[in-house]
């Protein structure tokens, strides 16, 4: 656990100059160590966050919460529609049985009538 904390601190204190050098090496196909890759990813995230703030974009947490809310609403709507479809399917089955019974009764009635 302590190793993770120190790794996180090391990733956060990376300078822009060092990060740019790591980015340059990575973009040219050089292999980065796991530590360097983690530092670069943290720097990318920091740059993305700073850009979002400058552009007035909502934070990723707000985006995720908003998307989760939209998914929840869609799921609720889907469950409501699914329930209604099941109810209609049940009503249709009842009607089919009634129609079959009426046809059977009609056939019997027509069969017993004198021509």
Q: Whats the size of the chain, residue-wise? A: 115
Burial of residue 64 (number of CB atoms within 10 Å: 0-12, 13-18, 19+) = exposed
Question: How far lies 41's CA from each of 2, 14, 65, 91, in Å?
Answer: 20, 11, 23, 57
Looking at per-residue pLDDT, the higher value among 38 and 11 belongs to 38
The predicted structure's pLDDT at residue 71: 93
The predicted structure's pLDDT at residue 12: 55
| Domain ranges (residues) in the chain | 1-57, 59-115
pTM: 0.44
Residues 35-50 pLDDT 10s: 988 898 888 888 888 8
Residues 59-101 pLDDT 10s: 677 788 888 889 999 999 999 999 999 999 999 999 999 999 9
The predicted structure's pLDDT at residue 48: 81
The predicted structure's pLDDT at residue 1: 36
The predicted structure's pLDDT at residue 115: 59
Q: How many CB atoms lie within 10 A of CB 41?
A: 13
Residue for token digits 């529609």? 81
pLDDT at 32 over 60: yes
Q: Which of 14, 40, 12, 15 lies closest to 25 in space, CA to CA?
A: 40
The predicted structure's pLDDT at residue 13: 67
Q: Which of 54, 46, 47 lies closest to 12 in space, CA to CA?
A: 46
Please give the distance of CA 5 from its chain centroid, rounded to a whole number: 30
The predicted structure's pLDDT at residue 88: 98
């Amino acid at each position: 656990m302590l190793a993770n904390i120190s790794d996180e601190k090391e990733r956060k204190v990376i300078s822009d100059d060092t990060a740019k050098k790591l980015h340059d090496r990575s973009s040219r196909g050089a292999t980065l160590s796991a530590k360097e890759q983690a530092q670069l990813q943290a720097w990318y995230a920091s740059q993305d966050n700073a850009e979002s703030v400058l552009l007035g974009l909502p934070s990723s947490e707000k985006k995720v919460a908003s998307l989760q809310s939209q998914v929840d609403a869609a799921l609720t709507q889907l469950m409501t529609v699914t329930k209604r479809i099941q109810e209609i399917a049940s009503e249709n089955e009842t009607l089919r049985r009634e129609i079959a019974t009426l046809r059977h009764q009609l056939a019997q009635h027509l069969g017993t009538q004198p021509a």
